[in-house]
A and B are shown apart, each in its own frame.
Chain A
Amino acid sequence: MADARSRFRHHRRAWVRHAILLAWTFFIVFPLYWMVSTSFKGAGEWVSWPPHWYPHDFTIHNYRQIFTFSALGEELSRDATDQAFSIWKALGDSLLICSVASFIALVLGVFLAYAISRFAVGGSKFRHIILTIRMVPPIVIAIPILMYYAIMIPFTTEVLFGTRIILFDTYFGLGALYVATTLPFVIWMMLSFIDEVPYTLEHAARMMGAGRMYTLRRVVLPLVASGLVVTYLFVFILNWSEFLLALTLTHPEVTTLPVLLNKFQSASEGRLYGPQAAIGTVITIPVVILGVLIQKHLIKGFSFGMIRK
């Protein structure tokens, strides 16, 4: 009897747990669903009331608009906008800045993390201090950086070297800032991976005549390969979705996707929710793919298959 009762209680608890998880999942997924479904709606359905829970008039018009290569022709501009809001330029800018900046941050961060892990550079507490840099809200640095990018650096370089170096609205300007802001994360994450590599492996390599760089390349880095991938993807996603700095420090030359997303409105029709939703969907897809990849690597993450563990 007691057995049956406890089984009943067990079942009920499982039921409650699943109900809560389902509700939570719905809560999380609904905005995503709304974005994707809006991206397939025509202009009239974007803000209709009562809401259209699914596209009544299914269309891929929004996608054709954002993916067009030429100025919008007769057909494409008809019911939405007369501006060309092609995604290609922003997509290219985003890919370029994010992939290069993430890569540079990764390379720098790996070496810094190695030095901190092995030589306790900066003292034993340094590793914990690194992340506090990220506690500064981006808005606090965005405006001062703007001052430097737009005024101080051009002025100083002109006085000193006779040429004006402008970092505002350049790939280098935004990319350098992305490197700086993500470096703490890279160091922090790589530290946890590099700490896991037993020191005696490096001793063994040194005993066989390998130099520091050779050891790093042949022993340490291959062992933290999963960590490198996870860290790169993590940082890439951070940069990919960064909005505030890009908004403040670029225009009109350089445009990243999150900034483009915000600019998508027309004079005659206000916010263009359909194309915006289409861009949102397009931006999210790589993040989802990367997320799935990260998950696989996270599981693999630390299990190096060390002997005797």
Chain B
Amino acid sequence: MAEIVLRDLVKRFGPIAAVAGVNLRIEDGEFLIMVGPSGCGKTTTLNMISGLETPTSGEIRIGDRVVNDLEPGERGLGMVFQDLALFPHMTVFENIAFGLRVKKTDGAEVERRVKAAAEAMHIGALIDKRPSECSGGEAQRVALARTIVNDPSVFLMDEPLSSLDAKLRLDMRTELKHLHHRLRATFVYVTHDQAEAMTMADRIVVMQGGRIEQVGAPLEIYRRPATRFVAGFFGIPTMNFLEGEVAAGGEGDGPAFRSTRVEQPLSASTPTDVAGRAAPLGVRAEHVRLVPSDDGGGRVTLTEPLGDETLVFFEYGGAAPLVAKVDPDSPLGPGDPVAFEFDREWCHLFDAEGGARLN
């Protein structure tokens, strides 16, 4: 009942289009995360859904109502802000009670619901404190409780974890996921942190320059990025890219990717019409195999042990060094000559012009 549909949504600020035509259907009850680099229009899109920003054109529907002309408070949404926006002059109790007070809920009811929301967020003990007396994590919970208490069917969150320290952020991720499970409400969540998106989302919307680049489940986006931008945005370390072209397969062997230094056989399923075109090849570090070899053409420049695996950066004569993930017990060290090979099933080909995926 709380499905949200955005149709041809546009928002201009003077000459620049912060959001340049967004079409999106947000399913009831899903955890949808919008992710993208700074300035790509995530906040603007979210604010148009919330009603804090008026679209230049396009339509927003929540359930079966067009809400373009509804006040923010009439849309049945709850929002958690980046700076939390707790009222500094009110106690935690009054902060949480604010929405109920606006609706003139009677005192006993307010008391009961605020207590319940506070308990649910494990902040029952803080109820008489001021926001300034709460730690970052506690303030975060207060902000969530203040939203939960109004029982919205949709939660909008704009980078709510960005001001927490790294450890706390990880804990809150898990907690938000639990919360989503428990409430079964729709979550629309904005972040520029791709790891946050990967770990929490049911579906991810990747935005760039006011447009949607790709919508999909986290693994789908990781495994089959629709554009070169998405491929580069997701994954740590960043995907390796090599400039070159695709050669048609001869007899006996399939198509291959060729650059001045590299000849890489491609999966047999590579579309035939790609042959002969210039097409950058992308391959993730975990799909690069390294073997010590004197005539492989590669030379290790740097290793970064991560514990469970080790990143090996190596030169191969191309524009930028490549990176591979190897076993942490690998004996490779800086200066060692290596041969490298890519897993042909995991080679991504992109259009040299627009960056769209080709295979």
- A214, B102: Cβ atoms under 8 Å? yes
**CB-defined interface of A270-286 with B at 8 Å, one 1/0 digit per residue?**
00000000000000000
Q: Which residues of A261-309 are within 8 A (CB) of B?
A: 304-308
Q: Interface of chain A, helix or strand or loop or mixed?
A: helix
Most A CB within 10 A of own CB, among B71, B73, B139: B73
Q: Is the CB of A223 within 8 A of B88?
A: yes
At the interface, yes or no: B56 with Cβ under 8 Å from chain A? no
* Residue A47 CB within 8 A of the other chain: no
Question: Which among A20-28, A134-142, A200-208 touches the partner chain?
Answer: A200-208
Instruction: Please name 30 pairs of A and B residues whose Cβ atoms are closer than 8 Å in the assembled complex, sorted by A.
Output: A198-B83, A198-B85, A201-B87, A203-B79, A203-B81, A204-B81, A204-B87, A206-B52, A207-B50, A207-B72, A207-B79, A208-B73, A208-B98, A208-B99, A208-B150, A209-B99, A210-B98, A210-B102, A218-B98, A219-B87, A223-B88, A223-B89, A304-B88, A305-B88, A305-B132, A307-B86, A307-B88, A307-B131, A307-B132, A308-B83
User: For window 182-226 of chain A, which residues contact chain B by CB distance below 8 Å?
Assistant: 198, 200-201, 203-210, 214, 218-219, 222-223
**Interface status of B84 (Cβ within 8 A of chain A):** yes
Is B198 located at the chain interface by the 8 A CB criterion? no
Q: How far is the CA of A307 from the CA of B79 in the complex (A)?
A: 18
Q: Which residues of A contact B50 (CB under 8 A)?
A: 207
Bound-complex Cα distance A203 to B83 (A): 12
Q: What is the size category of the interface that chain B forms with chain A?
A: 20 to 34
Option from A203, A222, A223, A305 in Cβ contact (under 8 Å) with B85: A203
Q: How far is the CA of A218 from the CA of B77 in the complex (A)?
A: 21
Q: Which residues of B contact A214 (CB under 8 A)?
A: 102
* Contact partners of A222 in chain B: CB under 8 A: 89
Verify A209–B74 contact, CB threshold 8 A.
Answer: yes
The interface on chain A, measured as residues whose beta carbon lies within 8 A of the other chain's beta carbons, has a size of 21
CA distance A203 to B81 in the complex (A): 9
Within the complex, the shortest CB–CB distance from A53 to chain B, in Å, comes to 52
Task: List, in ascending order, chain A residues with CB within 8 A of B84's CB.
Answer: 307-308
**Which of B84, B85, B87 gathers most chain A CB within 10 Å?**
B85
Chain A residue with Cβ nearest B81:
A200
Contacts of B101 in A (CB 8 A): 218
A75 to B139, CA, bound (A): 71
**In the complex, A219→B88 CA distance in Å?**
9
Question: Is B215's beta carbon under 8 Å from chain A?
Answer: no
For B77, what are the chain A residues with a Cβ–Cβ distance below 8 Å?
Answer: 207
Give the CA-CA distance A210 to B73 in the complex, in Å.
Answer: 7
Tell me, yes or no, whether B112 is within 8 Å of chain A by CB: no
Other CB < 8 Å A-B pairs besides A200-B82, A210-B73, 14 of them?
A200-B85, A203-B79, A203-B81, A205-B87, A206-B73, A207-B52, A207-B77, A208-B73, A208-B102, A209-B71, A209-B73, A214-B102, A307-B88, A308-B83
Contact code string B58-94 (vs A, CB < 8 Å = 1, else 0): 0000000000000111100111011111111100000
Interface centre among B72, B78, B84 (most CB of A within 10 A): B72
CA distance A307 to B143 in the complex (A): 12
Q: Which residues of chain B are within 8 angstroms of A207 by Cβ–Cβ distance?
A: 50, 52, 72-73, 77-79
In the complex, are the beta carbons of A200 and B73 less than 8 A apart? no
Say whether B130 faces chain A, with CB atoms less than 8 Å apart. yes
State in angstroms the CA–CA spacing of A23 and B288 once bound together: 81
Asked whether B79 lies within 8 Å of A306 as measured between CB atoms, the reply is no
Are A308 and B163 in contact, with the CB atoms below 8 A?
A: yes
Chain A residues positioned under 8 Å from B85 (CB to CB): 198, 200-201, 203-204
Cβ-closest chain B residue relative to A307: B131
CA distance A99 to B137 in the complex (A): 46
> Which residue of B72, B83, B136 contacts A200 across the interface (Cβ within 8 Å)?
B83
Q: Does chain A have a CB within 8 A of B103?
A: yes
* Nearest CB of chain A from residue B96's CB, rounded to whole Å: 10
A194 to chain B, nearest CB (A): 14
The docked-state distance in angstroms from the alpha carbon of A223 to that of B78 is: 23
Chain A residues, CB < 8 A from B82: 200
A306 vs B81: C-alpha distance when bound (angstroms): 15
Q: Does B352 contact A (CB under 8 A)?
A: no
User: Known contacts A198-B85, A203-B85, A207-B72: does B99 contact A308 (CB below 8 Å)?
Assistant: no
